[in-house]
Amino acid sequence: MIVTTTSHIPGKKIVKTFGLVRGNSIRTRHIGKDIMAGLKNLVGGEILQYTKLMAESREQSLDRMRTEAIRLGANAVVSTRFATSQVMGTAAELLAYGTAVWVEDE
């Protein structure tokens, strides 16, 4: 499955559009890791626990979006975007969305 942030794929033509597909993941922070992240925040630097959490959430969201596209009969997703939002006080949602299409060689 081709997934791209562009509205077209070089060398391919869109022959059918299936519409919007999306996948999301909501993750909550672990209290112990949150304390360590708070300490890291005092001295500066990357908070690896949160970086890993977001990377896992991003991949899970993309997987769910691809699954929905395949279910519709698509072989590609164009115009892929990501959005994040806070859910409650300790959780974050990562949403991946795009347009499911069928592409063929030009």
Q: What is the CATH number of the domain that holds 34?
A: 3.30.110.70
Strands of the sheet containing 76-87, edge to edge, are 2-3, 76-87, 91-105, 12-28
Q: For residue 101, which amino acid is it?
A: V
Q: What confidence score (pLDDT) does residue 53 get? A: 83
Q: For residue 30, which amino acid is it?
A: H
Domain that holds residue 59: 2-105
Question: Domain total for the chain?
Answer: 1
pLDDT in tens, 23-48: 999 887 655 555 555 555 556 667 77
Helix %, strand %, coil % for the chain, to 5?
Answer: 35, 45, 20
pLDDT in tens, 43-101: 666 777 778 888 999 999 999 999 999 999 999 999 999 999 888 777 889 999 999 99
